[in-house]
Amino acid sequence: MMLQQLRPALVLLIALTLLTGGLYPLLVTGAAQALFAQQAAGDFIERNGQIVGSRLIGQAFSAPHYFWSRPSATGPMAYNAAASSGSNLGPTNPAFLSLVKDRVSAIQAAHPTQQGPVPLDLVTASASGLDPHISPAAAAQYQVSRVAKARNLSAEQVQHLVKTYTQGAQWGLFGEPVVNVLELNLALDQLAQPATVNAP
């Protein structure tokens, strides 16, 4: 009696294991490689034959001549793709409020000419902690003057570059316009070197 009950359970276990643990991952991987080959391979950016980053994963920038990325909550280091996560702190959590307050103060200190509110994506991390993008408001409207001054460029030159690297909504329908920070900073390096040498 027990054997009769056990046999279909084992057959179902084996079938589902092969289906969900073998066939489905192979099908999804194959489809990704066929339809999105560049993204599936990491969408790496190369300069002078060396990989400098990925279009899909953010990097930390802190020098004044670079646009700054969205904060990352991954550990033990920022933008750690092996530990993708948010902070899991709620919007009323005292630790979260203190962290955001400190970030706002730091951003305002670095942009003394800006009188408007600090863009949200400059002081809060995304759910993945890996977001490579910031909003045009966080780039064009808030950081341009600092970057332009550090590189001896006009604000108009930097704003034009931001506009060039602003990506519209996906397929014209989904999401908001964004700017890939790494691509923008690499374009800045090609356009003009900073007035003084600073660490990224």
Taking only the tens place, the pLDDT of each residue in 28-86 is 887 877 776 677 667 888 888 888 889 999 999 999 999 999 999 888 888 998 888 88
Q: How far apart are CA 32 and CA 26, in angstroms?
A: 10
Q: Which pTM does this prediction carry?
A: 0.78
For residue 106, count CB atoms less than 10 angstroms from its CB and return exposed for 0-12, middle for 13-18, buried for 19 or more: middle
* pLDDT at residue 103 tops 90: yes
Identify the pLDDT of residue 28: 87
Backbone angles phi, psi at 46, to 5 degrees: -110, 145
Asked if 77 and 71 count as a contact pair (C-beta separation under 8 A), the reply is no
Q: Tokens 């001054």 — which residue?
A: 149
Q: What is the pLDDT of residues 124-162, one digit of tens each?
A: 998 898 999 999 988 778 999 999 999 999 999 999 999
End-to-end CA distance of the chain: 70
- Given pLDDT bands bounded at 50, 70 and 90, which one contains residue 198? very low
* Domain range annotation of the chain: 1-41, 42-191
User: Which residue blocks in 89-154 are alpha helix, DSSP H?
Assistant: 94-110, 136-139, 144-150
Q: Is the pLDDT of residue 169 over 90?
A: no
